[in-house]
Structure formats: structure tokens, C-alpha cells
């Protein structure tokens, strides 16, 4: 007996068409509202790297996430979830193969699948996809049957054949036929364990809604904290150029490119009757004075 094959971790070369991305935003960690997720178009924000030796070949593993500043330009916490694309459809039938009555499977109607996703349902393309089930009575609380999934082990276009079972009974079984629009999928697990031959695992019911998901890569969640300061900006205050205008008391801090980073008004608060100085104040100035350009000031 062979001992089996072993797992591995490989760089994902998933197509952007098989990815979906969601994000949420919260200004701080104390937010009491529920997490609200918004979709992002993977075609716009996720760019795969190409192999430098062959620019028409995906490098594998390395992708660049290009987050639009119009959405991600606010201080706070963004959670980004990158996960395999989900396809929602309905089980057309649960049946067996005509020639192998012990092979059970679920049947989908290709015509119910969005046109741009129908090629996933061609023969063999669904192998490895995960099937998750929704409750047959929706809207009764949690719609999804939690912690239940099956893996598709084969899929083929199949034609329904009505079989006479005697006593005026008939049942439908399927036979492979590439001209059919029905797809017969075997799933795992679907056979009873040897220790309990009648305990056949649940694989779904006709007309039950399901979620079909590819397993081309492991989902990723990024928590991105957008901040206004880091070591670099703090270093501006310590080490970068500064000016103090003696005429109007404007104190300017420049970044390392000599661009105006912050401006402050410096002034004293005095007792209105005695003229005695009470406070020295440094107050941030939000209307920038452009005449404090460092290069112009020091150009003499």
C-alpha cells in the first residue's frame, strides 16, 4: 500500500477574475457600530506581477494591491479581505449516475450561472471548488448553514434520464452528455464510512441555494492603520530646516525636501492692564503663508 501524497504550499497564480475583495473602515478601535463591508473591484486594485524573463507569464505569488487614495486616504483602520470569488446558484437536482447508481452527486443548471462565470462549469473545471449551503427557509435568522461544506471532486455535463422504478414510480438519474446544460458534480464526502454504512453524508437538496467557491489561494486579511505621523515626520521637528519670522512671528517647519510641513504663530499673552507677559504661545496656523518658502528666504 502506498503511504499517500503530501501537502505543499505554492505561490498562488490565481486570475484576478477568481478573486473578490472587501474592505471595512473604522476611525478607531473603540467603534461600537457593526462592521460594514464594501466591495472593491479586483480588476482595478489587484495587479499580478509578471515574470521578468517572460512578461506574458504571471510571476506567481506576488501581487500589488493599489488602494485608491480617494477611498483609503483617511486616518483610521481599514480591514481588507481578499478571498476566492464566490458563485451563488441553486441546486437543480440531487441524483445518481445511470450507470453507477452508487455515485451520488448534485446537479447545477449552467443557464442559472452568470455568463462570465459559466466557463467554470465546463467538464472538470469545478474540481477542488468548495460548496457551502444556505438554509432552505431563508430569513429565519442565520441564512447560512454554518460549519458545513463539501468539496467538488468531478463535474461533467449530464443529461437527466427518467428511470422506471415500478409501481408507477419513476426517478431521474444522469448520464454524461456534453450537449446538456446540466452539470453533475460529485462531492466529497458523499459516501458512508465503513463503520456505519447507512450514514450517508448530506450533500444538499434540490432547489437549495449554495455558494460555490474556488480554492485557488488562501484568503488574506490586511489590517491597515493609516496614520499622520511616523518616525520620519517626527524627525522633521528635530532635524529638518526651520525658520522663525521675526516680523510676524510665523514659525515654519520644513520637511526634508524644504517644503512647508507645518506653520505656527508665535506670540505672547500679556496682562491687558499692566502689560506683564503671562504666556508664550505656539499656535498651529492652518492658512499657510507662502512667503515663508525656505529656498527663497535663504537665497541671498
**CB-based contacts of 237: which residues, under 8 Å, 6+ apart?**
253
Residues in contact with another protein, shown as a per-residue x/- string from 188 to 227 under the rule CB under 8 A:
xxxx-xx---------------------xxxxxxxxxxxx
Q: Kindly state the number of chain residues that form the binding site for another protein, as judged by CB under 8 A.
A: 62
The answer to whether 65 contacts another protein (rule: CB under 8 A) is yes
Residue 38 C-alpha cell reads as 464594501
The answer to whether 229 contacts another protein (rule: CB under 8 A) is yes
Q: How far apart are CA 258 and CA 242, in angstroms?
A: 9
The answer to whether 287 contacts another protein (rule: CB under 8 A) is yes
The answer to whether 27 contacts another protein (rule: CB under 8 A) is no
- Among the listed residues 256, 212, 259, the one whose alpha carbon sits nearest the alpha carbon of residue 236: 256
- Among the listed residues 46, 1, 3, 32, the one whose alpha carbon sits nearest the alpha carbon of residue 217: 46
Element (H, E) at 190: none
Q: How far apart are CA 52 and CA 206, in angstroms?
A: 49
The answer to whether 290 contacts another protein (rule: CB under 8 A) is yes
What sign for the dihedral angle of Cα 7, 13, 18, 19? positive
The answer to whether 26 contacts another protein (rule: CB under 8 A) is no
Residue nearer to another protein on the CB measure, 223 or 299: 223
Residue nearer to another protein on the CB measure, 27 or 61: 61
CB of 270 to another protein, least distance (A): 26
Q: Site residues (CB under 8 A) for another protein?
A: 1-12, 14, 45, 61-70, 72-73, 75, 82, 188-191, 193-194, 216-230, 232-233, 255, 257, 259-261, 287-291, 293
Amino acid at each position: 500500500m502506498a503511504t499517500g501524497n503530501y501537502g505543499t504550499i505554492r505561490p498562488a497564480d490565481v486570475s484576478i477574475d477568481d478573486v473578490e475583495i472587501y474592505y471595512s473602515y473604522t476611525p478607531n478601535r473603540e467603534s461600537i457600530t457593526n462592521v460594514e463591508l464594501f466591495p472593491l473591484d479586483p480588476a482595478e486594485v489587484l495587479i499580478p506581477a509578471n515574470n521578468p524573463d517572460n512578461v506574458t507569464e504571471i510571476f506567481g505569488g506576488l501581487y500589488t494591491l493599489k488602494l485608491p487614495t480617494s477611498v483609503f486616504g483617511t486616518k483610521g483602520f481599514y480591514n481588507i479581505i481578499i478571498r476566492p470569488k464566490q458563485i451563488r446558484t441553486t441546486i437543480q437536482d440531487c441524483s445518481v449516475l445511470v450507470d453507477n447508481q452508487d455515485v451520488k452527486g448534485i446537479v447545477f443548471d449552467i443557464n442559472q450561472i452568470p455568463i462570465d462565470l459559466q466557463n467554470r462549469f465546463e467538464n472538470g473545471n469545478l474540481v477542488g471548488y468548495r460548496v457551502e449551503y444556505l438554509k432552505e427557509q431563508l430569513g429565519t435568522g442565520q441564512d447560512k448553514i454554518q460549519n458545513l461544506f463539501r468539496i467538488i471532486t468531478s463535474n461533467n455535463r449530464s443529461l437527466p434520464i427518467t428511470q422506471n422504478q415500478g409501481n408507477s414510480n419513476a426517478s431521474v438519474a444522469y448520464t454524461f452528455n456534453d450537449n446538456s446544460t446540466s452539470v453533475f458534480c460529485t462531492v466529497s464526502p458523499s459516501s458512508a464510512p465503513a463503520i456505519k454504512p447507512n450514514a450517508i453524508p448530506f450533500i444538499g437538496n434540490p432547489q437549495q441555494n449554495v455558494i460555490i467557491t474556488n480554492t485557488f489561494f488562501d484568503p488574506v486579511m490586511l489590517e491597515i492603520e493609516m496614520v499622520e505621523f511616523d518616525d520620519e515626520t517626527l524627525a522633521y521637528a528635530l532635524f529638518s530646516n526651520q525658520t522663525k519670522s521675526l516680523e510676524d512671528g510665523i514659525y515654519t517647519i520644513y520637511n526634508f525636501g524644504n517644503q512647508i510641513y507645518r506653520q505656527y504663530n508665535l506670540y505672547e499673552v500679556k496682562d491687558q492692564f499692566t502689560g506683564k507677559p503671562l504666556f508664550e504661545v505656539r499656535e498651529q496656523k492652518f492658512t499657510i503663508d507662502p512667503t515663508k518658502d525656505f529656498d527663497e528666504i535663504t537665497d541671498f
